[in-house]
Copies of this chain bind each other. A is one copy, B any other.
Amino acid sequence: MKCKKCGETAVIKLRSYNISLCAPHFIEFFERRVLGAIKRYKLLSPKERILVAVSGGKDSLNTWFALKKLGFNADGFHIDLGIGDYSRKSREKAEKFAHEIKGNLVIVELKDEVGYPLPSLIKRERRTACALCGLIKRYLMNREALKGGYSAVATGHNLDDEAAVLLSNLLNWNIGYLTRQSPLLPSWHPRLAKKVKPLCEVTEKESAAYALLNRIDYIHEECPYSRRATSLFYKDIINQIEWRSPGSKIRFYREFVTKGKHLFEEKHQEETLVDCPECGLPTTHPPCAFCRLKNRIKAETS
């Protein structure tokens, strides 16, 4: 197996593109895909300050690494959720990586924020771990971005993540979710940072290879609360389709964003945002979900 670019021994075969590449050319390919998505979807401009949500997994570390290498001004942000060993290891990986790339990493501990780590919160609250964690992450990512003067929050969602969610939303015709699924959620309020997904056009496999070839040391374990079964099932379905018709996965996602998505959007009324009377951040239903969470905890423990 020879590299299509230089004829050296290839390290990876990309069936979707019908090419094999050596390590340096694969890294170049990967970064071009990231830059391509940034340009295609107008995710970021060269000068803006970006806060990368860093879990310690391959995708988020790759995002930070690639953005910096591509010349973007990107710092990291890690939330220590306090999920025992899993959070301890995740944080270690994030810190070690930040040190290696000489990047600025802001860390926030959930326990400091609301008085409890995630496992205790889950027991108190009636919603699922993932719903709760999503709420917390969305709030803290936005808050930290505003605090630090960052205009964008970048997350590590890859093409497999995006295509699987898209398929699942289409199977159920979740118009609301389809409206919001995008590599770019623009800021539509002065205190709401935009959200971008620079890895949206690279696959899970490509992301794993990029981390490996760049010797990025990431956490391999899944979050113990993760309900990955469903997501893995849809990823497998998409991969069967990709295997049969190479190129289907990227086409499915890209055509959705460029052709399909606006059909859903025009039906969507943007909700009115008001300031949360407690934290001042924008919300549709004041006080905001995060402050309500804090209030419930306070009421229960006082």
Q: How far is the CA of A241 from the CA of B238 in the complex (A)?
A: 11
A172 touching B263, Cβ below 8 Å: no
Chain B residues positioned under 8 Å from A252 (CB to CB): 170-173
Query: Which chain B residue has the least Cβ–Cβ distance from A267?
Result: B263
Q: Are A233 and B237 in contact (CB under 8 A)?
A: no
Name the one of B244, B251, B255, B264 contacting A263, with C-beta atoms under 8 angstroms.
B264
A263-B263, A263-B267, A264-B263 given; A173·B237 CB < 8 A: no
Copies of this chain, tallied across the complex:
2
- Is B237 a contact of A240 with CB atoms below 8 Å? yes
Give the chain B neighbours of A72 by CB distance below 8 A.
Answer: none
B175 contacts A259, CB within 8 Å? Answer: yes
Query: What mask results when residues 236 to 270 of chain A are scored 1 for a CB within 8 Å of chain B, else 0?
Result: 01001100100010011001100110011001000
Q: By the criterion CB–CB under 8 Å, are B173 and A260 in contact?
A: yes
Contact with B along A178-205 (1 / 0, CB 8 A): 0000000000000000000000000000
Q: Which parts of A190-242 form the interface with B (CB within 8 Å)?
A: 233, 237, 240-241
Most buried by B among A173, A251, A252, A267: A173
Give complex CA distance A233, B171 in Å: 17
Contact A173 B259 (CB under 8 A): yes
Partner of A241, one of B173, B237, B255: B237
Q: Least Cβ distance of A91 to chain B in Å? A: 35
B171 adjacent to A248 (CB under 8 Å): yes
Q: Which residues of B contact A244 (CB under 8 A)?
A: 233
12 A–B contacts from the bound complex (CB under 8 Å): A171-B241, A171-B248, A171-B252, A172-B255, A173-B256, A173-B259, A175-B260, A233-B244, A237-B237, A263-B263, A263-B264, A263-B267
Interface residue ranges, A against B (CB under 8 Å): 170-173, 175, 233, 237, 240-241, 244, 248, 251-252, 255-256, 259-260, 263-264, 267
